[in-house]
Amino acid sequence: MERHPTHMTSTTVTVSAPATVANLVCGFDILGLALESPADILSLSLLDEPVIRIRNLDDFGLPADPEKNICGAVLASINRQLPSHVGFDLVQDKRIKPGSGIGSSAASAAATAVAANILLGNRFTQSELISFAMDGEVLASGARHADNVAPCILGGITLVRTVDPLDVLSIPFPPLYLTVIHPHIEVKTSEARSLLSPEVSLKLAVKQWANVAGLVTGLHQSDYGLIARSLEDFIVEPQRSKLIPNFYPLKKVCLDAGALGGGISGAGPSVFMFSETRERASAVEDAMKQVYARTGIPFLTYVSTIGKGVVQV
Amino acid sequence: MERHPTHMTSTTVTVSAPATVANLVCGFDILGLALESPADILSLSLLDEPVIRIRNLDDFGLPADPEKNICGAVLASINRQLPSHVGFDLVQDKRIKPGSGIGSSAASAAATAVAANILLGNRFTQSELISFAMDGEVLASGARHADNVAPCILGGITLVRTVDPLDVLSIPFPPLYLTVIHPHIEVKTSEARSLLSPEVSLKLAVKQWANVAGLVTGLHQSDYGLIARSLEDFIVEPQRSKLIPNFYPLKKVCLDAGALGGGISGAGPSVFMFSETRERASAVEDAMKQVYARTGIPFLTYVSTIGKGVVQV
């Protein structure tokens, strides 16, 4: 392999990459958003040799072998687009627990793509960065999807209209706060996928896309009532909710506490709720804690607004 | 029956009610718009006796019996909401051919509801007017749907998120021109409905609601490219296009002539195309005429922008 071109900087770039919520109730496979927190911290430097070194500062037991590591897969994908392979030293401090359903793998992938792009003089477009990060998702789940990496890289709320070719749009939104509960149970994305019937009734599909149109309209028009009315999933939630203990009682207390609505984050097990204010989101958090304290299942909760995605820190 | 209250005006109200396009390609059963033309003309006056008299000036052979007439059904529905039944004299000059797929029955129903409301001192909300007009649609097709009456009454582009309860939203839009071709063949709505498989694949349903989200976003953001990319129907058009002779060659020449996209209007047989400018829409009209001139099937074409719905004239 050739050595990397000499015009590159040899400084270290550190980025923060937030958790993300995919699907947004009715928007299965197309809508997602970036939280402000929790967020991973990742530092990347160029090396003189074309090798990739990975160190994990956290205790999640993630592989340091670049061929088995999500960040390694993203760097390999980036290297395939460079005139000559570049060496990277990567140090990751993950704070988003893997398997939480709030985009832990996407945060690693997106952080790596954005940090590498900064080191390489911002030569890639945001679409290209999303594409590199999707190669990390392939290693994580076997599926080349942008549900989490798109909002993680772009921030805000995103619509992934198509993956191939990649067509991602940013959707404007009014002030919104999220409450997330992460029950510490394992839900494999593959299992959550296999639960879904490959066929749906046309009648329910129409109701679902009516809500998708309502949610997108509510976000554009800052219409909280419309957002709340549109946050109903006729197709995926009825099939997947069984994976999450106490899902319906949890949802009920959140709505009673004033949440606009919410549902399963990604493929679960995390559950999220939207609220109009931070105070309301905190009341929803209290309600969530009360329900889950009774289950004996360990859990974490978060309150966050919608964030800017990966940022240099 | 009691006589109508004496505070009502006895003048005649004349309204114009435009043709409408329902479904808007990917937005089956939820999205619709009002054209500027063609439009029906309808005049309504109060009578001293609680009877309903209907006269048709056109030669479509529509029934004058109020119990069999769409306008009569709407007036009966309005009367049920009044403290005492009111008599109406209605004169209709239809210019939208029944069975065209551009909301002929909806124009009659919407015109009647709006004209009666003006005569009755604007006592009803727009939602109530849509609801009255839907009772006319029940007589016309057996289904209580707002796909055409909502845009006919509200104007512009509308989203019918739910019918029961009625939740209708206006969607903003950039300048858009429509070209419509009405081949003079009969497509019964019931037949078009029965063609549709009651089940769809989840995969195609997701692609469809991705396009619905893309189209609604493109309209809000005046993004013509996004509108064009989103105008693809994976579910209904593949099943219904066989009802319309030369559908795919017609669509191809329209896209070649610069249309943004389009598809079947309502349940057909009319086909519509969106364009960015009136000039482009006229070029699309020429292309449509060339394709249909070769079929030997009589047809009409229209070029129109998006209109204001029913207006008093």
Put simply, whether B212 touches A (Cβ < 8 Å) is yes
B211/A161 touch (CB, cutoff 8 Å), yes or no: yes
Helices (H), A221-299: 224-230, 237-240, 247-256, 278-293
The tokens describing A215, both together, are 């949610």
pLDDT score recorded for residue B6: 43
Q: Among this protein's residues, is B9 annotated catalytic?
A: no
pLDDT score recorded for residue B1: 40
Cβ-nearest to B209 among A167, A208, A220: A208
Read off the DSSP letter of residue A267: T
Query: Cα B55 vs. chain centroid, distance in angstroms?
Result: 22
B169/A217 touch (CB, cutoff 8 Å), yes or no: yes
pLDDT score recorded for residue A110: 98
B202/A200 touch (CB, cutoff 8 Å), yes or no: yes
Categorize the per-residue pLDDT at A4 as very low, low, confident or very high, splitting at 50, 70 and 90: very low
A235/B203 touch (CB, cutoff 8 Å), yes or no: no
pLDDT score recorded for residue A10: 57
Candidate list B36, B189, B237, B285, residue with the active-site label: B189
Categorize the per-residue pLDDT at A192 as very low, low, confident or very high, splitting at 50, 70 and 90: confident
Put simply, whether B289 touches A (Cβ < 8 Å) is no
Sign of CA dihedral A106, A107, A112, A113: positive
Cβ-nearest to B198 among A202, A214, A217: A202
* Domains of chain A, CATH where assigned: 12-171 (3.30.230.10), 177-305 (3.30.70.890)
Categorize the per-residue pLDDT at B77 as very low, low, confident or very high, splitting at 50, 70 and 90: very high
pLDDT score recorded for residue B194: 87
B205/A203 touch (CB, cutoff 8 Å), yes or no: no
Using a CB-CB distance cutoff of 8 angstroms, which residues of chain B are in contact with residue A213? 27, 30-31, 159, 161, 212-213, 216
Using a CB-CB distance cutoff of 8 angstroms, which residues of chain B are in contact with residue A207? 162
A210/B162 touch (CB, cutoff 8 Å), yes or no: yes
pLDDT score recorded for residue B10: 58
Instruction: Tell me which of B33, B212, B229 to substitute to probe the interface with A (most A C-beta atoms closer than 10 Å).
Output: B212
The tokens describing A69, both together, are 């590591």
Residue A275 corresponds to which amino acid? S
CA distances, A50 to each of A71, A75, A117 (Å): 15, 11, 16
B167/A229 touch (CB, cutoff 8 Å), yes or no: yes
User: To the nearest whole angstrom, how far is the Cα of B299 from the nearest Cα of chain A?
Assistant: 31
ipTM: 0.95
Instruction: Tell me which of B162, B164, B202, B208 to substitute to probe the interface with A (most A C-beta atoms closer than 10 Å).
Output: B202
Look at A142 and A251; give whichever has higher pLDDT.
Answer: A251
CA distances, B247 to each of B156, B230, B237 (Å): 26, 19, 10
Put simply, whether A198 touches B (Cβ < 8 Å) is yes
Is the model's pLDDT at B29 over the cut of 70?
yes
Q: Among this protein's residues, is B189 annotated catalytic?
A: yes
pLDDT score recorded for residue A310: 98
Q: What is the pLDDT of residues A154-182, one digit of tens each?
A: 999 999 999 999 999 999 999 999 999 99
A159/B214 touch (CB, cutoff 8 Å), yes or no: yes
Cβ-nearest to A213 among B161, B197, B206: B161
Q: What is the pLDDT of residues B90-105, one digit of tens each?
A: 999 999 999 999 999 9
pLDDT score recorded for residue A187: 82
B206/A27 touch (CB, cutoff 8 Å), yes or no: no
User: To the nearest whole angstrom, how far is the Cα of B286 from the nearest Cα of chain A?
Assistant: 32
Put simply, whether B7 touches A (Cβ < 8 Å) is no
- Tell me the whole-structure pTM to 2 decimals: 0.95
Mean pLDDT of A73-96: 97
User: In this structure, how many other beta carbons lie within 10 angstroms of the beta carbon of residue B175?
Assistant: 12
Look at A77 and B141; give whichever has higher pLDDT.
Answer: A77
Mean pLDDT of B193-218: 96
- Backbone φ/ψ region at B32: left (φ over 0), alpha (ψ -120 to 50), beta: beta
Show Cβ contacts of residue B170 under 8 Å, excluding neighbours closer than 6 positions. Answer: B154, B156, B157, B158, B159
Sheet architecture: strand order including B261-264: B261-264, B271-275, B177-183, B299-305
Report the residue of chain B nearest A166, measured CA to CA. B229
Answer for the pair A130, A151: CB distance below 8 angstroms, yes or no.
Answer: no
Candidate list B20, B36, B112, B137, residue with the active-site label: B137
- Rg of chain A in Å (alpha carbons): 19
Share of chain B above pLDDT 70, in %: 97
Mean residue pLDDT of chain B comes to: 95
pLDDT score recorded for residue B193: 82
Q: How far apart are CA A166 and CA A150, in angstroms?
A: 10
Look at B47 and B8; give whichever has higher pLDDT.
Answer: B47
Using a CB-CB distance cutoff of 8 angstroms, which residues of chain B are in contact with residue A197? 202
* Residue B98 CB burial class (10 angstroms; 0-12, 13-18, ≥19): middle
Put simply, whether A216 touches B (Cβ < 8 Å) is yes
Instruction: Tell me which of A160, A209, A220 to substitute to probe the interface with B (most B C-beta atoms closer than 10 Å).
Output: A209
Q: How far apart are CA A92 and CA A40, in angstroms?
A: 8
The tokens describing A12, both together, are 């270290």
Mean pLDDT of B178-196: 89
Put simply, whether A143 touches B (Cβ < 8 Å) is no
User: To the nearest whole angstrom, how far is the Cα of A189 from the nearest Cα of chain B?
Assistant: 17
Q: Are strands B157-162 and B87-93 parallel, antiparallel or unpaired?
A: unpaired
Mean pLDDT of A202-230: 98
Is the model's pLDDT at B5 over the cut of 60?
no
A161/B230 touch (CB, cutoff 8 Å), yes or no: yes
